[in-house]
Amino acid sequence: MLRNDLEYAGFWSRVCATIIDSILLGIITFPLLISIYGWEYFDTNKTGFIAGPLDFLISWVLPAIAIITFWIKKQATPGKMAISARIVNADTGAIPSTGQFIGRYFAYFLSAIPLGLGLIWVAFDKRKQGWHDKLAGTVVVRLKKRGPQMESKKRRPAIAVLLSIITPGLGQVYNGQLKKGAIFYFVMLLLPFLMALTGLQYRFYGMLGLLMLGLAYYLFIAGEALFTAIKLKEIILKSYNRGYYYLLFVILAMFLAISVNIITIEGLGIRAYRNPSDSMAPTLLTGDHIIVDLKHYKNNIPQKGDIIVFKYPENPKRDFIKRIIATEGDILESKEKSIFVNGSALNEPYVQYSDKQIRTNGNDPRDNFGPLTVPKDKVFVMGDNRDQSYDSRYWGYVDKDQIRGKALYIYWSKKADSIGMAIK
């Protein structure tokens, strides 16, 4: 029997609870998974549905233990606690048994299998039970809402602006305009996808223009929150005009932003890197920040002279940046620091030498090596700072499928005249 002071928790409130739980699980599990598998964890083409035993433990076993433990101890996960809901026995209203909680957890998978129909069923069932609830004999309840309290409170423009800076759209929520705030925020999330459609991100001034457009929109949101707060002066408080809801919105927004960032790294087709050494000087200096085109070699063949970022063959978790000197089939030789490809001396105006001495030791390939033939599907790379570069002369070829992308331009450098320069 349902007590008079209780009501069934509805579909949307339970969706909110699920989002909160998902965010909290993500905050705990994602850093662990990334530290173990790297960012490639999110590339299912490489890792598969389950990346390994530790992925199974972190992504499947530990969440199951945590959720069932919360249910047994609190009758609710943190998400349900946030909406003041709890799980009870559908027949008696008492605390469900441990067996019911375990059964309820595994019944979630049955609810989700037919396109999530068993979960969506909550929206149509008169007791707001999903299939997992029906199978486990449980129901989710919470205290009935009291009548609306017409409490009004002054809106402070400075707070509206501050909240907008913390999370775009939150200033509008503070002003009692939840839908407007949500629209502003989701448009902000869509901007990277719109950028990807223009292709401007592949050029420095194109990227700069897109960033300025994004900044202008960001300032517009803050300005709109400011002037609305001034105009309204005070509002009748909504249920979400509470500090803990603002904190919840910030956490949700951060989670969505991180998720979108992961997705749009591939969608935008670019990634920012910081050059860690002078091995590519004078073309790239230590500390130069560059943009790399991740999609270039999906439609193009690596060419001699391209500056590429690739997985270091001796430790694929590290990325190196070097220049392609020879490609598959090329016959390569170095004679006293001069590079010959297919019998012809390579014109290298970009090269820098720091040591006039010629090393003739047969075990040291810095100045003399070859001739050698580059195998199929591989490239030979070298640094422009030829005497200070650890490259293919020492550890061999780079597989084409280990190339991450082509370096495009420098977007920040301690050398001012290098900013915006195309990398060639």
Which are the catalytic amino acids? 279, 322
Contacts of 71 by beta carbon, 8 Å cutoff, 6+ apart: 77, 87, 96, 101, 104, 105
Angle between helices 243-268 and 178-198 (to 10 degrees): 10
User: CA neighbours within 13 Å on the CB side: how many for 97?
Assistant: 6
Query: How far apart are alpha carbons 183 and 221 in whole angstroms?
Result: 11
Q: What is the 3-state secondary structure (H, E, C) of the chain?
A: CCCCCEEECCHHHHHHHHHHHHHHHHHHHHHHHHHHHCHHHHCHHHHCCCCCHHHHHHHHHHHHHHHHHHHHHHCCCHHHHHCCEEEEECCCCCCCCHHHHHHHHHHHHHHHCCCCHHHHHHHCCCCCCCHHHHHHCEEEEEECCCCCCCCEEECCHHHHHHHHHHCCCHHHHHCCCHHHHHHHHHHHHHHHHHHHHHCHHHCHHHHHHHHHHHHHHHHHHHHHHHHHHHHHCEEECCCCCCHHHHHHHHHHHHHHHHHHHHHHHHHHCEEEEECCCCCCCCCCCCCCEEEEECCHHHHCCCCCCCEEEEECCCCCCCEEEEEEEEECCCEEEEECCEEEECCEECCCCCCECCCCCCCCCCCCCCCCEEEEECCCCEEEEECCEHHHCCCHHHHCCEEHHHEEEEEEEEEECCCHHHCCCECC
User: Other CB atoms closer than 10 Å to residue 123's CB: what's the count?
Assistant: 13
